[in-house]
Amino acid sequence: MSSSTVKNLTFEMRPPPPKAHLHKTLPDSAFPKGFLLSGTHVGIKKSKSAEDLGLILTTSPAERTSAAAVFTQNSFAAAPVRVSANVLAARSGRGVRGVVVNSGCANAVTGQKGEEDAWAMVRAAGEVGNAAVASTTSSSPAGDNDEANMLVMSTGVIGVRLPIDKILSGIQALPSSLGSSPAHWDSVARAFLTTDTFPKLRARTFAVTHADGTQREYRLAGMSKGAGMIHPRMGASVPTATGLHATLLSAIMTDVHVAPKALQSALNYACARSFNAISVDGDMSTNDTVVVLASGAADALEIDEKDNESFIQFRDALTDVAKELAQLVVRDGEGATKFVTVTVKGTKTYDDAHTIASRISTSALVKTALYGEDANWGRILASLGSLQELSAPIDPSRVSVSFIPAQQQNGTAPSDSPKPLLLLHNGEPQPLDEAHASSLLSQTDIEILLDIGLGEESAQYWTCDFSYEYVRINGDYRS
C-alpha cells in the first residue's frame, strides 16, 4: 500500500475471539496404529519455530493399506494435486506409503518446473518411507520399493516456485525424528498451517460390527488446515489442467483394513457432508485436497461395501471426523468472530438445498450483518431470491426463516437459553423483537434455518462472518 495515502483509522469492532482452546491434547490411545509421523521447519515459512514440512507414513505391508482422496475441481489445479492424483490412480489406491506436506508455498501456477518439484518431493519422501518401513519391519517385506508411492500436498502463496533444495534436504533428515506419539501427530498438524491460528487435530475410536458378528474397535485421526480461500468443491478426479493458491487440506488416518474402492466411496460421502459444505470467503482454491490413509494395522477384518453394516459404521465415523475437521476450518476462518450453521430444509432435491445454503453462506451482506450482530434478515432472502439455477423455483409465500440459538443445535437446550426466533413465516415478516434477536446474534454460534416449503430434502453448510480482520489479513497477504 502506498504509504502516502495510508492513515491510521480507528474502528469500534469486536475482535476475533480467542481460539487456543480449540487446540486439543489427545491421549495416545486415540491415535490409529501403524503410522509414523514427523513435522519440522526447513525455512519455507519465515518464523523459525513454525513447522513447514511434514511426513506421514504407514508402516503396514502394502497389501493391507489403502488410500483415497478428493481433489479441487479448479481448472488451475496445482502441481501437487495433479501429481497426487496420478500416484493414486497408478496404484489403484493400494500401497500408498504416506503423505508429504509443505506449507508456505502452494507450488501452483509454476508450470512444468513446478510439476518436477512435486515429483521430486514424492520420490524423496518415498525413499525415506521405504527405508523406514524396511527398518521397522525387517522380518516381512512391507511392500514394493517403488518411490512413487507417496501423495504430496502444498499450501501457501501462488505463482512462486518451491525452495526445493531446502525441502529435499529436510525430507532426507526426517528419519531421525519420526515417531507415533501425540507430539508427533501434533507437529505434523502444525506443518499444514498457513494463516490458521491453531493446529486442527482430532482423533476418535469407533466400533464396527463385522459380518462374522464380532465387534471390534478402531481409531481415526485427522488434521485439517484452512482459514482463507475456503469454498471447496472436491471430486475424486482432477481436471486435466496445468497449474494455483491456499486452501483446504486434510489428511485422515485410520487403522481399519478397508478395500480402496470402499474407502473412496466412504470419503466421497463424508466429503459432501463436511469439506464440500463449508465456506469462509467463497473462493475455491487450486490446492484443495483431502486424503484418507488406512493402515490396516489393527487386528482387522477387511471392510468393503458388500458388508453393508460394517461399511456404514465406518463411513459414518469417517463423516463425523471429517465434519469436525471441516468445522474447525470455519471456526478458524480468516478474521472470523462467528461460527454460522446454515440449515436449509423443505427443498425438492438435496442439490437445491446445498445450492441455497452455499449461496447464503457466501453473501457479503449476510456475513457483514452477522459480524455486526444485525438482524438484517432481508439480506438472507435477497440472497436466496438471486438463485436461478434451482430445479424448482422458489415460492416466496412458502418460505420461512428463523434464527436458532446455539444451545439447541445439538439438541440440548439449557433452560436459560434463548428461544428460536421466527423472522419470516410463509413469506410474511414477523414482528421483530430486537432484544431477542440481539441475545441470539451476540452468541458465537448462530444457526440460520430456512424452510423452503417445497419438499422433504435438506442440507447444512457452515460459514463464518466477514470482519475488519478479514480485510486486514487479505489486503496484504504476500508480505
What residues are designated binding site for substrate?
194, 225, 247, 334, 474, 479
Helices (H), 220-338: 260-272, 308-331
Contacts of a second copy in 152-181 (CB under 8 A): 157-159
227 vs 322, beta carbon nearer a second copy: 227
Does residue 467 bind a second copy (CB under 8 A)? yes
Active site includes 254? no
Question: From the list 18, 27, 213, 393, which residue makes contact with a second copy (rule: CB under 8 A)?
Answer: 393
- By the 8 A CB rule, do 150 and 122 touch? yes
DSSP 8-state code for residue 212: T
From the list 12, 212, 299, 416, which residue makes contact with a second copy (rule: CB under 8 A)?
A: 12
Please list every residue from 206 through 225 that binds a second copy, using CB under 8 A: none
Q: Is 228 in the site for a second copy (CB under 8 A)?
A: yes
Measured from the CB atom, the residue of 256 and 360 that comes closer to a second copy is: 360
Distances from the Cα of 327 to the Cα of 59, 196, 197, 268, 463, angstroms: 30, 13, 14, 17, 8
Can you say which residues are annotated as belonging to the binding site? 194, 225, 247, 334, 474, 479
Residue 300 is a binding residue for a second copy (CB under 8 A):
no
Strands 457-464 and 278-279: parallel
Q: Which of 178, 170, 189, 224 is nearest to 44 (CA)?
A: 170
Q: Contact at 8 Å (CB) between 281 and 228?
A: yes
Binding of a second copy at residue 397 (CB under 8 A)? yes
Alpha-carbon span 318 to 269, nearest angstrom:
9
Tell me the C-alpha distance between 30 and 25, whole Å. 11
Out of 47, 140, 410, 479, point to the residue binding a second copy (CB under 8 A).
479
Give whichever of 57 and 77 is closer to a second copy, judged by the CB atom: 77
282 forms part of the interface with a second copy (CB under 8 A): yes
Using CB under 8 A as the binding rule, whether residue 49 contacts a second copy is answered as no
Number of residues that bind a second copy (CB under 8 A): 89
According to the binding rule CB under 8 A, does residue 381 interact with a second copy?
A: yes
93 binds a second copy, rule: CB under 8 A: no
Phi, psi values for residue 373, rounded to 5°: 55, 40
Which residues are within 8 A (CB) of 230 and not within 5 positions of it... i.e. 6 or more apart? 247, 248, 278, 279, 280, 281, 283, 285, 329, 330, 333
Following CA atoms 142, 148, 150, 151 in sequence, which dihedral angle do they give, to the nearest 10 degrees? -150
CA-to-CA distance for 264 and 91, rounded, in angstroms? 13
Site for a second copy in 350-369 (CB under 8 A): 362-365, 368-369
Cβ distance to a second copy smaller for residue 43 or 282: 282
Report the residue from 134, 241, 312, 413 that binds a second copy according to the rule CB under 8 A.
241
The answer to whether 271 and 323 have CB atoms below 8 angstroms apart is no
Task: Find the catalytic residue in 72, 110, 247, 254.
Answer: 247
Cα–Cα distances (Å) from 208 to 24, 234, 278, 324, 466, in that order, read 25, 28, 28, 20, 41
Question: Counting Cβ atoms within 10 Å, is residue 11 exposed (0-12), middle (13-18) or buried (19+)?
Answer: exposed
424 binds a second copy (CB under 8 A): yes
User: Contacting a second copy (CB under 8 A), which of 175, 239, 420, 453?
Assistant: 239
Q: Does 111 bind a second copy (CB under 8 A)?
A: yes
Nearest distance from C-beta of residue 118 to a second copy, angstroms: 16
Site for a second copy in 57-86 (CB under 8 A): 73-77
Q: Which three cell numbers mark 314?
A: 465406518
Minimum CB–partner distance for residue 381 and a second copy (Å) = 5
5 in contact with a second copy (CB under 8 A)? yes
Is residue 196 a contact point for a second copy (CB under 8 A)?
no
In the complex, least distance from residue 357 CB atom to a second copy, rounded to whole angstroms:
16
Q: Would you count residue 376 as binding a second copy (CB under 8 A)?
A: yes
Q: In the numeric block, which cell numbers belong to residue 199? A: 493446529
CA atoms 70, 75, 79, 83: torsion sign? positive
Stretch of 42-50, 203-211, 325-333, 391-399 contacting a second copy, by CB under 8 A: 391-399
Task: Pick the binder of a second copy from 384, 440, 459, 464 (CB under 8 A).
Answer: 384
Determine if 31 is a binding residue for a second copy (CB under 8 A): no
Q: Which of 51, 117, 186, 281 lies at the binding interface for a second copy (CB under 8 A)?
A: 281
Q: How far is the CB of 361 from a second copy (least distance, A)?
A: 12
Distance of CA 298 to the CA centre of its chain: 25
Using CB under 8 A, pick the residue from 30, 134, 148, 387 that binds a second copy. Answer: 387
8 Å CB contact between 223 and 199:
yes
CA–CA gap between residue 189 and residue 210 (Å, rounded): 32
Query: Active-site residues: which are they?
Result: 247
